[in-house]
Amino acid sequence: METIQEQETMVSLPRIGDRAPKFKATTTQGEVNFPEDYKGKWVILFSHPADFTPVCTSEFMTFAHLESKFAKANCELIGLSIDGLYSHIAWLRTIKEKIEFKGMKNIEVKFPLIEDITMNVAKKYGMIQPGESETQAVRAVFFIDPKGIVRALIYYPLSLGRNFDELYRALIAMQTSDKFAVATPADWNPGDDVIISPAGSCNVAEERMTSKDGLTCEDWFFCTKKLDKNTILSKILKN
């Protein structure tokens, strides 16, 4: 039976702003040395409960279908479960040869899928949640930036498949914030107005409320401006 200390260690997870924990692992695409192998790139590192399960299959097919879209945004994908390498290989072959989902078929998963039988990586990232399962990783998603810093994380229970539109939206929103020094409001998508940082002084607040420089201010602390979709995507997406 696990001690309280062991359970706390198992569910500990990196926080936003932390350096992503380092690891070396065997994957379906060879050895990975993380994050060194991915310098200069965004990474979505995600876990799934088990191979040969239907929700996970639907997710992997969707990720593989969208891989090139994420790649254009300078983002690599890395999957993980605590299954072994041969199970991974057999499962991915089955997906390609037999499974059709939402019109997708003959889908080949080309991004790495980590073998993590020892749960070494899963524990470093808090992917094992004993209240949900002690033998399967939950559906964790880590967004890691080109400097190896954790920028966002999303956790889903075993029963809930991920929303891939939201994963892509979050990636583009964070890159937009970095490139243009802005924030993005609720439900933002490229082309929507963006938020500028709140005024840091009374003078700046007054200037913003009377500004004619393209700002729309509901009040001194809530100012937005236009940011063209093509301007955003030209700075973020590769040709």
Ranges of each domain in the chain = 4-162, 181-236
CA 39 to chain CA centroid, Å, is 16
- Which CATH architecture group holds 4-162? 3-Layer(aba) Sandwich (3.40)
Inform me whether the pLDDT recorded for 107 exceeds 70: yes
Inform me whether the pLDDT recorded for 5 exceeds 80: no
The helix-helix angle for 164-180 and 54-72 (nearest 10°) equals 30
What's the pLDDT tens digit per position in 71-106? 999 999 999 999 999 999 999 999 999 999 999 999
Mean pLDDT value across residues 193-198: 89
Cα angle 75-143-183, degrees, rounded to a multiple of 5: 95
151 annotated binding-site participant = no
Instruction: Name the catalytic one among 56, 75, 202, 217.
Output: 56
Task: Return the pLDDT at 7.
Answer: 46
Mean pLDDT value across residues 13-40: 96
| Helix-strand-coil split of the chain, %, nearest 5 | 35, 25, 40
Task: Return the pLDDT at 200.
Answer: 63
Task: Return the pLDDT at 190.
Answer: 96
Find the range with the poorest average confidence among 3-7, 189-193, 204-208: 3-7
**Does 223 participate in catalysis according to the annotation?**
no
Mean pLDDT value across residues 40-66: 96
- Cβ distance 60 to 102 under 8 Å? no
- Confidence class for position 11, pLDDT limits 50, 70, 90: low
Inform me whether the pLDDT recorded for 211 exceeds 80: no
Assigned CATH for 181-236? 3.30.1020.10
Inform me whether the pLDDT recorded for 136 exceeds 90: no
Average of per-residue pLDDT values in the chain: 91
Task: Return the pLDDT at 133.
Answer: 79
- Confidence class for position 128, pLDDT limits 50, 70, 90: confident
Q: What is the pTM of this model?
A: 0.90
Element (H, E) at 3: none
Does this chain's domain 4-162 share its CATH topology with 181-236? no
